[in-house]
Amino acid sequence: MTGRRTVIRGGLVLDPEGRTALQDVLIEDGRILAIVNPGFEVSDDAEILSAADQMLIPGLISAHTHSHGALSRGAIDDRVSLEMFLTGQGASTRSRGTDDKYLSAALSAAEMIRKGCTACFDLTVEIPGPSQQGISAVARAYHNAGMRAVVAPMIADRTIYQALPGLLDALPDELRSHCAGLSAAPIEDTISACSDILENWEFDRRWIRPALGPTIPLHCSDEFLIACARLASEHGIPLQTHLAESRAQAALGRTRYGKSLIEHLEELGILSERLSAAHVIWLDDNDIARLGQSGVRVAHNPSSNLRLGSGVAPVRKMLRNGVTVGVGTDASNTSDGQNMFEAARLASYLSRIDGFASDEWISAHEAFHLATEGSAQVLGFEKIGRLTAGYEADIVFLRLDRPHFVPLRSPLIQMVFAENGASVHTVMIGGRIVFHDGTLLTLDESLLRRQAQEAASRLDQANAGTYASAATVARLVGAFCAAQGCTGHTLPRKLNLTCEA
């Protein structure tokens, strides 16, 4: 007895070694049964799909994004550093109802699918704190889009003013008392909400899984981090955090803990294979060795790192130390197109300015491997990220009649270095076609667009006061953070950031 069978005929299939060959892909019950030479005979009831003049690649996997960012697109000034962005984030995400949370995730999923991304790790924030209803709405959006996802409530128990030592003192008197009076949701409320979310998970874990996202170590008390790690361990789920993303974080981590952020997490017992860390830029060789030894996985987000001026992650050094690295885009309000092709290309290009000899640069093949199989490991999904028998049929069909594939000599290199998602013709996830010939088949994009515009007007009006005060404070926070690391602590990641004498 066999299940539902599909055969994709005549495509140029990319194998895990980066080679391509014209082959047929046999799919049964959403998984790849075999990849065989063209002309393979199948039973009459099998569905036949033609992939003539197309390249078949595994779906790209974003190791780090935030679905709440989709509805915040364009809401914050373009020249903002990470901490300035975080200061304004509350303004762009507050006042949202459950429908808005669903809408933002649906917009985010639609964007990813259009650009050939079939799975993601989503840290999603709710203000004032996580709720079962909100996280379910986000997970349902992925379910309806037909995409795989790990969905983690992004949580903290400190405001940015409590998180960054010295920040409050640096603010003018009239702002200091206001900012000092702000508070995050209490630990007990957040942990208990997360516990409810995990205990009542209603989605098929082959597709959508839960996780926890203690957002940034400095923004979480030790007690909070330990409680998150314990809860994740009890439920056998992953944890993801933003680690050493900015120079200010690394410098202020030393101020608060007297050691590096990575050493601090190690001391708390949190470094393990359960943890993945996004960005991971400002760290030294000992920190990198610790990540390798403990099995922490890293989500590299090169486009966001450039957009927010955060820096260049030492990916080659991490790989040399045995760290598993995946690639992510970060949210559509921090790297703005959620384009995994672009992120893979930047992962390769940025490795070239790190002072290594050319044979140490991240190759096109390696970058693609990180953006698929590396990211799959960050998500904790075992059978996605490659076109091989036994793996999920998450397959992207690329048109080969686009300029960057003409003439066609090195399909993988030509794709990684020039594809921008415009060649994506068909996207199949788990054997189901969710995007075809310019149309998303699972969500009504014109409806989403109308709803997004309506939500943006309503939310901007509701949050107008918060936006205005956030803009003023963000400049002060930015100036405070820009000064961190310029004196006192020596950090290894050199950037062309001007430090006033």
Burial of 349 (0-12, 13-18, 19+ CB in 10 A): middle
Comparing CB distances to Zn ion, the nearer of 216 and 232 is 216
**Identity at 69, one-letter amino acid code:** G
**Identity at 431, one-letter amino acid code:** G
Comparing CB distances to Zn ion, the nearer of 69 and 430 is 69
Minimal distance, residue 62 CB to Zn ion, in Å: 11
Minimal distance, residue 330 CB to Zn ion, in Å: 5
Two structure tokens written together for 279: 């960005």
Distance CA(187)–CA(192), nearest Å, equals 8
Comparing CB distances to Zn ion, the nearer of 54 and 246 is 246
Minimal distance, residue 60 CB to Zn ion, in Å: 17
Minimal distance, residue 418 CB to Zn ion, in Å: 27
Distance CA(98)–CA(68), nearest Å, equals 12
- Got the DSSP string for 452-473? HHHHHHHHHHHTHHHHHHHHHH
Comparing CB distances to Zn ion, the nearer of 55 and 60 is 60
10 Å Cβ neighbour count for 325?
27
Burial of 177 (0-12, 13-18, 19+ CB in 10 A): exposed
Q: Residue number with the shortest CB distance to Zn ion?
A: 330
Minimal distance, residue 378 CB to Zn ion, in Å: 13
Q: Write down the residue that tokens 């993601």 correspond to.
A: 120
Number of residues written out for the chain: 501
Nearest to 93 by CA among 142, 153, 151: 153
x/- mask, Zn ion, residues 317-356, rule CB under 5 A, reads -------------x--------------------------
Q: What is the DSSP letter of 77?
A: -
Comparing CB distances to Zn ion, the nearer of 324 and 332 is 332
Two structure tokens written together for 439: 């149309």
| Interface size with Zn ion, residues (CB under 5 A) | 1
Backbone angles phi, psi at 239, to 5 degrees: -120, 140
Comparing CB distances to Zn ion, the nearer of 51 and 346 is 346
Comparing CB distances to Zn ion, the nearer of 157 and 330 is 330
Q: What angle do CA 43, 47, 50 make, to 5 degrees?
A: 115
Q: Write down the residue that tokens 């990849």 correspond to.
A: 35
x/- mask, Zn ion, residues 477-496, rule CB under 5 A, reads --------------------
x/- mask, Zn ion, residues 283-312, rule CB under 5 A, reads ------------------------------
Minimal distance, residue 165 CB to Zn ion, in Å: 22
Minimal distance, residue 86 CB to Zn ion, in Å: 10
Comparing CB distances to Zn ion, the nearer of 111 and 330 is 330
Minimal distance, residue 66 CB to Zn ion, in Å: 6
Q: What is the 3-state secondary structure (H, E, C) of 133-190?
A: HHHHHHHHHHHHHCCEEEEEEEECCCCHHHHCCCHHHHCCHHHHHHHHCCCCCCHHHH
Minimal distance, residue 50 CB to Zn ion, in Å: 39
Taking each continuous run of H as one helix and of E as one strand, the counts in the chain are 19, 18
Comparing CB distances to Zn ion, the nearer of 101 and 300 is 300
Residues that bind Zn ion (CB under 5 A): 330
